[in-house]
Amino acid sequence: MEIYRAGIPSLISGNIKLISGPGCPVCVTSENYVDMAISYLNEGYNILTFGDMFRVPGSKGSLETEGSGKVKIIYSPDEALEFAEENCDKKIILLAVGFETTAPLFASILKEIRNRKITNLYLLCSLKLIPPAIEYLLSSGEVKIDGFLLPGHVSAIIGTKQFQKICRQYKIPGVVSGFEPQDILESIFMLLLILEKKEEYLKIQYARVVKEEGNPLALKEIEDVFEMTDADWRGIGSLKNSGLKIRKEFQDYDIQVVHPIRVKSQPINPQCKCGEVLKGIISPRDCPLFGKLCSPQTPQGPCMVSSEGACAAIYKYGRE
Amino acid sequence: MCLGVPVKIIEITEDKNSAICEYQGVRRKVNIRFVPDVKIGDYVILHAGFAIQKVEEKSAHQIYELLNQIERSQ
Amino acid sequence: MRLSTNMVENKITLSHGSGLQATKKLIQEIFLKHLGDEILLSLQDSAIINVEKEKLAFTIDSYTVNPLFFPSSDIGKLAIYGTINDLAVMGAKPMFISLGFIIEEGLDIATLEKIAISIKEAKNRAKVEIVAGDTKVVEKGKCDGVYITSSGIGVQILDSFPFLNSIVPGDKVIINGTIGEHELAVLLARGEFKFQADIRSDCQPLWEIIEKLLHNCPGIKFMRDATRGGIGGVLNELAEQINYGIQIYEDKIPVREEVKGICDILGFDYLFLANEGKFIAIVEESQAQKVIEIMKDSGYPLASIIGEVRKEFSQKVKLQTIKGGDRILDFPYGSQFPRIC
């Protein structure tokens, strides 16, 4: 999104094409997850969520349209602890959506819930892992890319070894990038240099934050609380070991264990091409619904709702 | 993606689990459990109320080194 | 009852109150559709009505701010200044206000008195009279302390203002000071998201400066106060009404460090945050510098030219970013929320 907010496509040469991959946890959250959250609302739960999820459409409506006063937007999961303690009469679910950057935060919150003996706060978990998704894209052979701008804050947590392995295996270079406009431009420049010298490896542009080993404390926190599981990626399908689920020791706070709900979900519009946009196969403008049936006001899929979504970015910032 | 902002540590709480951080005049209490060895004056990346990594001081962007490399090779 | 709207939603959401696309759609599909007449359909900040020889400006606004008191202002001041500013930007001298109060059962009377005193101070400063009022009380929980509806009447001093049809490429876009403060001041006063920052509401009356400008600068073609939806909302709405485009420059827009700081952290765009003492003016190029000088001499030191009207594109607002890149400043659907992504 920073790429479009800073107007970067207008600053680079026309023969460099920037494609959005599955870099947005909201984009790739399944309709089923939103439908489940809404079902819990109807069962009397209150929901706490990051703002990103508020307008994401499920099969029938979003948290915004179905919430009616029972959905509260938070900036940090730490607000959930206080909210739960101040509202003992309420049953509260915290939506745990994000990638490896945000996973340690939710791990820490689960530990705090246990330490503080909070009994009215649960998590609905849909945390996902990036490297399996990148590997899936490359192994499917559908994507034609020359290089990756790799996520700087995910790498701050997990380090660079997993990305290095993928880059070497598929012989596609990657640069771990920061988010300021100068970081992004510098990273593109570094990628071009790697391609010109025909080196196939990974470089870190965001060296002021990213270390090869990542953040071991954060990684341990994730390991203490979560374990890998298969996960559903909207537009892609189920990927093996690409998500996180709450370990047995913390299952008292996993709402899917404490109060399981089965929800059958309809995909929003069969013509929605979010999946192919996420894979970088087509650009948003190639989708038949883009700008016509699908806009930020009437999103057909999450790529248009999410502020980070490829379609929303082009619609808002790049549409001519 | 993954909004994270470099903020300065201006005070560390007694229990050493949190720090008051400042960014352009804005302050918030930040959880520092993932960067426990930070000192006052250090910068950390703030993501959703937690410090996820320390920011090392790097005096110049690598781009200047890269541009110098190109110049030298020409 | 079978409805005849083109609205996508069937329930009201908070987005419908944001002042952005969702609000616009609601007004068009529900209110204008059934109530629209020539005056209402012009969608100006105040209606101009011919009464014998005078042109009266008539407007109404409702105030539901929570908390009732926040740094530098309160719901009482807001109810006066907000309404008179809607008159002022139409070139109308504000004269009379009527106030309707909906009060929640259980509110401290001392709080209500504090609001009344604040209203008195505001009306004295703005030199308007409050000529009618009403109060109702609702059960506890049915409103947030107090809601105020304020309608205002003024007399237009500049016939047929604003002059939308006379806006041409080259006209300058001017703002009278720093943006984004009111909405953030209220957010912080609610204790939302646990941030502290010295950000105060910019709530203030604008008739004095506007009257001075209208008397001294014949080249002012349009004004609008940048309340809900911010300057981004005002410029997008304007672009849709004229046959040209609007270009603005990020490095020219006055904004305080603290506002940028909160926006960076929460992922907000300050261009779409509400103000209560800022207005956009579209001014003929040759008069723009004079407008800035008068503003600066009148207590608006950060008044700035932030862009211009362009013919190369139409019905759109473009922003040149600090890094030199260009992007379209699109009209958001609804209010902004903190995001992690």
Nearest to A4 among C265, C327, C338 (CB): C327
Confidence label for B45 from pLDDT (cuts 50, 70 and 90):
very high
Q: Kindly report the average pLDDT of chain A as a whole number.
A: 89
Inter-chain touch A104–B36, beta carbons under 8 Å: no
CB C226 within 8 A of CB C213: no
CA atoms within 13 A on the CB side of A216: 2
The domain locations on chain A are 2-22+130-204, 31-129+218-258, 274-318
pLDDT at C16: 82
H or E segment to which residue B73 belongs: helix B62-73
Which of A8, A102, A298 shows the shortest C-beta gap to C8? Answer: A298
Question: Alpha-carbon Rg of chain C, whole angstroms?
Answer: 20
The mean per-residue pLDDT over the stretch B48-62 comes to 80
Per the CB < 8 A criterion, the answer to whether B17 and B31 are in contact is yes
- Do C307 and C175 belong together in one domain? yes
Predicted local distance difference test score (pLDDT) of residue C57: 95
Whole-number Cα distances in Å, C153 to B69, C58, C85, C122: 69, 5, 11, 16
Q: Residue B72 — very low, low, confident or very high, per pLDDT cuts 50/70/90?
A: low
Dihedral sign, CA of A112, B6, A166, A143? Answer: positive
Tell me how close the Cα of B43 comes to any Cα of chain A, in angstroms: 10
Inform me whether the pLDDT recorded for A100 exceeds 60.
yes
Range of the structural domain that residue C313 is part of = 164-328
% of chain A surpassing 70 pLDDT: 93
Identity of the residue in B26, B29, B47 whose CB atom sits nearest the CB atom of C261: B26
Q: How many helices (H) and strands (E) does chain A have?
A: 14, 9
The partner residue sitting opposite A156, judged by closest CB among B33, B45, B66, is B45
B63 CB within 8 Å of a chain A CB:
yes
pLDDT tens readout for residues C237-248: 999 999 899 999
Confidence band of B74 (pLDDT split at 50, 70, 90)? low
Report which residue type is found at C205: P
Domain boundaries, position B28: 5-73
Residues in chain C: 341
Residue B36: closest CA among chain A residues belongs to which residue? A217
Quick one: average pLDDT of B10-24? Answer: 95
Phi, psi of A98 (to 5 degrees): 155, 180
pLDDT at B59 over 70: no
Domain boundary among C95, C125, C156: C156
CATH homologous superfamily of domain A2-22+130-204? HypD, alpha/beta domain 1 (3.40.50.11750)
Strand ranges, E, within C54-185: 54-63, 69-70, 73-74, 92-104, 129-138, 146-156, 172-175
The answer to whether residue C319 is domain-embedded is yes
Tell me the nearest-neighbour CA distance from C322 into chain B, angstroms.
Answer: 18
Q: Which residues contact A139 (CB under 8 A, 6 or more apart)?
A: none
Residues 6+ apart with CB under 8 A from C328: A316, A317, A318, A319, A320, C316, C317, C318, C319
Q: Please write the tens of the pLDDT for every residue from A143-194.
A: 678 889 999 999 999 999 999 999 999 888 999 999 888 888 899 999 998 9
Q: Which helix (H) or strand (E) holds A241?
A: strand A237-246
Distance separating alpha carbons of residues C290 and C288, to the nearest angstrom: 5
For residue C115, the distance in angstroms to the closest alpha carbon of chain B comes to: 29
Q: C19 in a domain, yes or no?
A: no
User: CA of C297, closest CA in chain A: separation in Å?
Assistant: 34
**Which CATH code fits A31-129+218-258?**
3.40.50.11740
Residues C152, C272, single domain; the answer is no
- B60 touching chain A per CB within 8 A: no
Domain end position, chosen among C156, C180, C212: C156
Q: From CA C298, how far away is CA C319, in angstroms rounded?
A: 29
- A214 interfaces chain C, CB cutoff of 8 Å: no
C16, part of any domain: no
Give me the mean pLDDT over the C297-323 stretch: 94
Is C205 in contact with C122 (CB distance < 8 Å)?
Answer: yes
Closest approach of A97 to chain B, Cα-based (Å) = 12
* Co-location of C107 and C190 in the same domain: no
Rg (chain A; Cα; Å):
20
User: Tokens standing for C175?
Assistant: 């703002």
Residues C170 and C111 in one domain: no
* Residues whose CB falls within 8 Å of the CB of residue A236, separated by 6 or more in sequence, listed in order: A22, A28, A133, A136, A275, A278, A279
Which chain C residues touch B29 with a CB distance below 8 Å?
Answer: 194
- Residue C334 Cα distances to A120, C18, C228, C229, angstroms: 31, 5, 10, 9
Nearest to A297 by CA among C23, C109, C111: C23
Contact B48 A210 (CB under 8 A): no
Helix axes C181-189, C257-266, angle to 10 degrees: 60
* Interchain CB contact of A1 with B (< 8 Å): yes
Tokens of C211: 């009257």
**Cα-Cα-Cα-Cα dihedral sign, residues A182, A188, A191, A193:** negative
Best CA proximity match to A124, nearest among A143, A111, A106, A137: A106
- Distance between CA atoms of residues C339 and C246, nearest Å: 28
Q: Which amino acid appears at position A313 of this protein?
A: A
- Residues C268 and C262 sit within 8 Å (Cβ to Cβ): yes
Phi then psi for A242, rounded to 5 degrees? -115, 5
Q: Is residue C12 part of a domain?
A: no
Beta-carbon count within 10 A of A256 CB: 16
Least confident range from A106-115, C14-23, C239-248, C310-319: namely C14-23
| C140 and C240 in a common domain | no
The answer to whether residue C11 sits within a structural domain is no
* Alpha-carbon span C221 to C164, nearest angstrom: 7
Residues in A closer than 8 angstroms to C266, CB to CB, are: 75
Name the residue facing C327 among A7, A65, A79 (closest C-beta): A7
B15 contact A CB<8A: no
Beta-carbon contacts of C123 under 8 Å, excluding residues fewer than 6 positions away, are C80, C97, C129, C130
Contact C196 B26 (CB under 8 A): yes
For chain A positions 20-49, those within 8 Å of chain B (CB to CB) are 23-24
- HSE toward the beta carbon, residue C137, CA cutoff 13 A: 8
CA-CA distance, B64 to C265, in Å (whole number)? Answer: 28
- The Cα–Cα gap between A62 and A83 comes to 22
Please judge whether C258 and B25 are an interchain contact, meaning their C-beta atoms are less than 8 angstroms apart. Answer: yes
Report the residue from C21, C192, C323 with minimal CB separation from A6.
Answer: C323
- Which residue type does C262 have? I
Please tell me the least confidently modeled range out of A133-137, B65-69, C235-239, C330-334. B65-69
Residues C246, C318, single domain; the answer is yes
Cβ A134 vs Cβ A166: under 8 Å: yes
Cross-strand bridge partners of residue A96: A125
Q: Quick one: pLDDT at residue B64? A: 56
HSE-CB for C3 with a 13 A CA cutoff? 11
Q: Percentage of chain C surpassing pLDDT 90?
A: 72
For residue C333, the chain A residue with the least C-alpha distance is: A297
The domain spanning residue C69 has which CATH number?
Answer: 3.30.1330.10
Q: C291 and C237 in one domain?
A: yes
Clarify whether residues C274 and C134 are in a common domain: no
- Given this model, what pLDDT does residue A309 score? 74
For A:165-194, CB contacts with B below 8 A are 179, 182, 185-186, 189-190, 193
**CB–CB of A107/A222 below 8 Å?**
yes
Among A95-104, A226-235, C68-77, name the one with the lowest average pLDDT: A226-235
Lowest model confidence (mean pLDDT) among A285-299, C157-171, C202-216: A285-299
Quick: pLDDT tens for C246-304.
999 999 999 999 999 999 999 999 999 999 999 999 999 999 999 999 999 999 999 99
Q: Cα–Cα distance between C180 and C172 in angstroms, integer?
A: 21
The reply to whether C148 and C177 lie within a common domain is: no
Predicted pLDDT of residue C167: 97
Q: What is the pLDDT of residue A2?
A: 67
Residue C330 to residues A314, C222, C245, C251, C334: CA-CA distances in angstroms?
10, 21, 12, 18, 12
Percent of chain C with pLDDT over 70: 97
Can you tell me which residue has the tokens 């987005």? Answer: C15
For residue C328, the one-letter residue type is: I
pLDDT > 70 fraction of chain B, expressed in percent and rounded: 76
Contacts of A193 in chain B (CB under 8 A): 66
Interchain contact, B26 vs C267, CB within 8 Å? no
Taking CB atoms and an 8 Å limit, are A153 and B57 in contact across chains?
Answer: no
As a whole number of angstroms, the distance between CA B42 and CA B22 comes to 11
In C, which residues are within 8 Å of B47 by CB distance? 340
Instruction: Place C7 in a pLDDT band, splitting at 50, 70 and 90.
Output: low
Q: Tell me the pLDDT tens digit for each residue of A271-308.
A: 888 878 877 778 889 999 998 888 877 777 777 876 65
Give Cα separations from C222 to C21, C32, C208 (angstroms).
Answer: 21, 23, 17
C28 in a structural domain: no
Nearest CA-CA distance, residue A187 and chain B, Å: 9
What pLDDT, on the 0 to 100 scale, is given for residue C175?
Answer: 98
Across the A:C interface, residue pairs with CB atoms under 8 Å apart total: 104
User: With an 8 Å Cβ cutoff, is A105 touching chain C?
Assistant: no
CB contact under 8 A, C257 and B24: yes
Of A35-44, A106-115, C315-324, the poorest mean pLDDT is in C315-324
CB atoms inside a 10 Å sphere around CB A95: 28
Higher pLDDT, residue C27 or B11: B11
Confirm whether the ipTM is greater than 0.95: no
Q: Tell me the shortest Cα–Cα distance from B19 to chain A, in angstroms.
A: 14
Chain A nearest C-alpha distance from C207 (Å): 35
C194 CA to chain B: closest CA distance, Å? 6
Overall number of domains in chain C: 2
Q: Does A24 touch chain C (CB under 8 A)?
A: yes
The band of B69, judged by pLDDT with boundaries at 50, 70 and 90, is low
Q: Which chain C residues touch B if contact means CB-CB below 8 Å? A: 193-198, 257-258, 260-262, 264-265, 267, 339-341
- Residue of chain C whose alpha carbon sits nearest to that of B26: C197
User: Nearest-5° angle of CA A33, CA A37, CA A42?
Assistant: 145
- Contact C241/C24 with Cβ under 8 angstroms? no
> Alpha-carbon distance A139 to C212, whole Å?
69
Residue B24 sits at the chain C interface (C-beta within 8 Å): yes
| pLDDT tens, residue by residue, C83-139 | 999 999 999 999 999 999 999 999 888 899 999 999 999 999 999 998 888 888 899
C84 vs C13: which has the higher pLDDT: C84
Write out the DSSP string of C269-292.
-GGGS--SS-EEEEE-HHHHHHHH
Tell me if C265 and B27 make a contact (CB, 8 A cut-off). Answer: no
Confidence check: pLDDT of A29 > 90: no
Which residues sit opposite A114 in a β-bridge?
none
Q: C135 near C266, Cβ under 8 Å?
A: no
**Higher-pLDDT residue of B60, C145:** C145
Residue count of chain A: 320
Q: Is residue C73 included in any domain, yes or no?
A: yes
Q: Look at chain B and report how many structural domains it folds into.
A: 1
